[in-house]
Structure 1
Amino acid sequence: MLAGLALSLVSGLPRIVISPDLIFLIFLPSLLYQAAWTMSYHQYQSSFPSRQPD
């Protein structure tokens, strides 16, 4: 993180433009996978509203 901060302060480097779609393609699957493994079944079940019989 410090290296990224230092590089952002250096003038003369070309600006890198990254599409938001690319960020989602790279980071979102790994974040969802990690969240799925760490979430308990009871947390998962409580995230949905309870169904009332008609």
Structure 2
Amino acid sequence: MKIFQQAFAIRERKRGFHLITDEVVNAFPELREIKIGICQVFIQHTSA
């Protein structure tokens, strides 16, 4: 089993729902090698 952990920041956006998949994949290039798995993202913000 492979585990990756890293802190990263995403750019600010206006209020609403936003797709952040590209930013997550760019922050973790190792994800491109994984075919099946789980990605858990913790967004530390009061309005998230």
Would you call these one fold, judging by a TM-score over 0.5? Answer: no
Q: Say which structure is richer in helix.
A: 1
With normalisation by structure 1, the TM-score equals 0.23
With normalisation by structure 2, the TM-score equals 0.24
